[in-house]
Amino acid sequence: MKIAVLGGDGFIGWPTSLHLSARGHEIHIIDNLSRRWIDTELGVQSLTPMDSIQERTRVWHQETGRRIHFHLLNLASEYERLKAWLAEHRPDAIIHFAQQRAAPYSMKSDRHKNYTVNNNVNATHNVLNAIVEVGLDAHLVHLGTMGVYGYSTIGAAIPEGYLNVGIEAASGEVVQQEILYPANPGSIYHMTKCLDQLLFQFYAKNDGVRITDLHQGIVWGTHTEETRFHPQLINRFDYDGDYGTVLNRFLIQAAIGYPLTVHGTGGQTRAFIHIQDSVRCIEIALQNPPKRGDRVKIFNQMTETHRVRDLAELVAKLTGARVAYLPNPRKEAPENDLIVRNDQFLALGLNPITLQEGLLAEVVDVARKYAYRVDRSRIPCVSAWTKDIAPTIERDPEGRRLKSVG
């Protein structure tokens, strides 16, 4: 297939582009490189050294003989250019990663909230609008989040996107209806993914756009099969308080002798998936598209659930690191359970990678190798969900701040 990977320079987009290129697909990355600009804004860099997208694709061609094409384009603001590109290239499938992906970043300030909404929602709508306008029958695969469901405890398994409910009619009889699982976003970022769902439902119903929405858990790990081909193909690795995902953050904290920072009680239960499984799930979704006129196909893209404090204890046991319990910058329940259905991917042949000491140790080894690139001052989570929470944030978990005497 000819596949457009929107946001193909990112944490999931890059290994996905390599994975699909290695399997013979013609890959076109469309990206405005905004994630690299955010690194500059935050004053932090990927733990792993990242070459330019042009150099990365050159090395991929050198190592494999296969070309990945790169197009610099802002999906949220350059609608006419996007429409012209789709009309010219007419891809068979479009994978949509082109969104600001960090909940803490989306809550940093009013400016960051506005940027996240403008970027994420406009990008999604522009893609859908352009697909219809140029008459393109491409399968759109979107990377969403488990966070659209929220993290409240209801004592029942979260289904894959849809919920059968009984509604009492005026006659008194109970009518069965299938609805989207009620959205319950916990941040501005998660809210944009909930808005994406409604856009997808409309365009599938109104225009017959073929759409798969992947509600993904928290990604951990560093390498995929293809990123190991050459040192310059290495994926980015975020460790800072805004973009670093919780398990990867624990592993780098352990590698450099920094306390494992658990916020609140650590009773938050989250869904997880290894990065190799993430790219494999995207491939499976591409191989099983909905038919034109079908409802949006929704998968829960996760393989296991864990409490945050249990992960911290696991990493501490593996590495000897110390666990530090800190005030929680997020507005969320201190404890929750999470039971998630992921039957569809299992039925389609996914053999999940679960937490294994060898894979955890592999991430620690990568972190130690590049530890010299870490700015310890960027590790704390300092983005507060509300103005009331902001004064409680711990900005110095190591206790290195100078204290006044006298």
- Nearest in space to 315 (alpha carbons), one of 366, 371, 262: 262
Which of 16, 57, 124, 145 is catalytic? The answer is: 145
The tokens of 359 are what? 């894979």
Among candidate residues 217, 202, 206, the one with its CA nearest the CA of residue 274: 217
222 belongs to the catalytic site: no
CA distance 152 to 143: 22
Q: Which CA distances in Å does 16 have to 160, 189, 217, 243, 283?
A: 23, 22, 16, 19, 8
**DSSP letters for 253-313:** HHHTTPPEEEETTSB-EEEEEEHHHHHHHHHHHHHSPPPTTPPPEEEEE-SEEEEHHHHHH
CB-based burial of residue 134 (10 Å sphere; 0-12 exposed, 13-18 middle, 19+ buried)? Answer: middle
Catalytic residue (choose from 83, 108, 113, 193) = 193
Distance of CA 365 to the CA centre of its chain: 23
Active-site annotation holder among 189, 239, 243, 258? 189
Q: Among this protein's residues, is 189 annotated catalytic?
A: yes
Report the distance separating Cα 52 and Cα 70, nearest Å: 11
Which residue reads 């008194």 in tokens?
Answer: 172
> DSSP readout, 311-365?
HHHHHHHHH-PPEEEE---S-S-SB----B--HHHHHTT-------HHHHHHHHH
Q: With contact defined as beta carbons under 8 Å apart, do 233 and 56 qualify?
A: yes
Are 146 and 99 a contacting pair, CB within 8 Å? no
Is 146 within 8 Å of 300 (Cβ atoms)? yes
Q: Which residues are catalytic?
A: 145, 189, 193
